[in-house]
Amino acid sequence: MDQNSFLEFPIDFQESQKRADSKSVDSLSKSEFYRSYDERDLGLQKLSLSRGPSRGVGLSDVPVMRSAPQISSEVRSSEIRDKPTPVPDLPVYYEARSSFATGNVEILADIYSFLLELRVESHYTQRAHRIDCSACRNSKSASFVVALFQATVGQYVVEVQRRSGCNMLTRKIYNELVGHFEKKEKPKAVPSWGHVELDDETSEVLVLMASNSGSDQQREAFRLLCDIAGGRDSHDKILSAFGGAAKIVSLVSDALNSGDLETERYVCIFLANMVCGGSDAFTAEIPSKSQSEMQRQFVEKLFVHVSGIFTELERLGSLETKKQILRCMDSLPAALAQEVRRRYSKTCKDVPGAVPPGTELSSLVSASYGRFLDVQ
């Protein structure tokens, strides 16, 4: 019995040799196999990232990377900066008394040039449709904004918004803008109201107009009241319509602070007509009841206020307006003149010295205020 008879399965030495040779080959080429696999996988990843067409591109082809065209940031910012922006809509609340209407959407450019002529420091922001301004005149300064809004299609509103500083200076510049840019309309023929019966409806309208502070309606109301108060027989009706002399003096005081020269001029004429008993020069006749009430209210509530007109010379620039105030003072009877001396003797001494000497106004002021100091 030979040695192979003890094995259940015979061993094929030739097959075993082949397996051994296969294992040795695999062990020698394993690193090279994985390296080629990694290179192939990397090539597929590059191909998948390519934005170009993939059809017909083999693994050996170099993928072409494509990107969107680059636009310079300066070009983009220039396009955004130069693109026109719409005019903002008119807000629900705005300063109607410091605004005016226009149909010119490019008006801010003209206003900017005009402000420079007025020596107002200005910065025009075209995209924001506004002009930031700073002004300084005669030791008074103010900061304000000129803004443009759209009211309706083709209709715009220019608003002057005071930020800080002197209200009077801002108002004067606004008046200059209105006088230069507001559309000039043909004035309507207004009949003389001095001979018109003041019924309840007319009186109510005038009271509402005069109570609208700093507006065109206030100026128009006192313009009409100048004519009405020119007749002596209308004073009782005016006092009754406005609720007494105290109410009229309150409206007069408010209008004197409006900053509008025309409004102040009309107010002073109206006040002089009421205090003096009519538009004619003061006479020595016995004053009426309504005139006496107005004179008493003038002394109690307006004397110091209107005296400031002569010390603040820029407040009212019209000599005629100042003369109307002097008319009121000259019309006061002796009893009220003594009351002025008792209450305001210091004011009577200071005002004549504040007016520049050697002028027509200085002589008139010295005579009027000197009368109160000389009264016994």
The greatest distance separating any two alpha carbons of the chain, rounded to the nearest whole angstrom, comes to 175
pLDDT higher than 70, residue 267? yes
- Kindly give, in sequence order, each residue whose CB lies less than 8 Å from that of residue 218, ignoring residues fewer than 6 positions away: 209, 210, 211, 212, 255, 258, 263
Question: How far is the CA of 239 from the CAs of 198, 199, 212, in angstroms?
Answer: 11, 13, 19
> What is the model's pLDDT at position 124?
95
Using pLDDT thresholds of 50, 70 and 90, give the confidence band for residue 168. confident
Q: What are the tens digits of pLDDT across the range 47-75?
A: 555 544 544 444 445 555 555 455 555 54
Q: What are the tens digits of pLDDT across the range 83-111?
A: 668 999 988 777 778 889 898 999 999 99
d(CA 309, CA 317): 9
- Tokens representing residue 112 in the block: 């900017």
What count of residues does the chain have? 376
Phi, psi for residue 62 in degrees, rounded to 5: -85, 120
- Tokens representing residue 341 in the block: 């001396």
Mean pLDDT, residues 340-360 taken together: 86
96-181 maps to which CATH number?
A: 3.30.310.80
> What is the model's pLDDT at position 217?
84
- Which residues is 267 bridged to in the sheet? none
16 C-beta neighbours (distance < 10 Å), count: 10
> What is the model's pLDDT at position 28?
46
Q: Do domains 96-181 and 193-374 have the same CATH topology?
A: no
pLDDT higher than 50, residue 8? no
CA 34 to chain centre: 78
Mean pLDDT, residues 150-170 taken together: 89
Using pLDDT thresholds of 50, 70 and 90, give the confidence band for residue 185. very low
Rounded mean pLDDT of the chain? Answer: 76
> What is the model's pLDDT at position 294?
92
Domain ranges of the chain: 96-181, 193-374
Question: How far is the CA of 344 from the CAs of 11, 153, 154, 336, in angstroms?
Answer: 144, 57, 56, 12
Using pLDDT thresholds of 50, 70 and 90, give the confidence band for residue 190. very low
Mean pLDDT, residues 250-267 taken together: 85
pLDDT higher than 60, residue 250? yes
What count of Cα atoms within 13 Å lies in the side-chain half-sphere of residue 56? 2
The CA-based angle 179-185-191, given to 5 degrees, is 110
Q: What are the tens digits of pLDDT across the range 268-283?
A: 889 988 988 877 644 4
User: HEC states along the chain?
Assistant: CCHHHHCCCCCCHHHHHHHHHHHHHHHHHHHHHHHHHHHHHHHHHHHHHCCCCCCCCCCCCCCCCCCCCCCCHHHHHHHHHHCCCCCCECCCCCCHHHEEEECCCCHHHHHHHHHHHCCCEEEEECCCCEEEEEEEECCEEEEEEEEEEEEECCEEEEEEEEEEECHHHHHHHHHHHHHHHCCCCCCCCCCCHHHCCCCHHHHHHHHHHHCCCCCHHHHHHHHHHHHHHCCHHHHHHHHHHHCCHHHHHHHHHHHHCCCCHHHHHHHHHHHHHHHHCCCCCCCCCCCCHHHHHHHHHHHHHHHHHHHHHHHCCCCCCCHHHHHHHHHHHHCCCHHHHHHHHHHHHHHHHHHHHHCCCCCHHHHHHHHHHHHHHHCC
Using pLDDT thresholds of 50, 70 and 90, give the confidence band for residue 143. very high
CATH classification of 193-374 is 3.40.50.170, yes or no?
no
d(CA 242, CA 228): 13
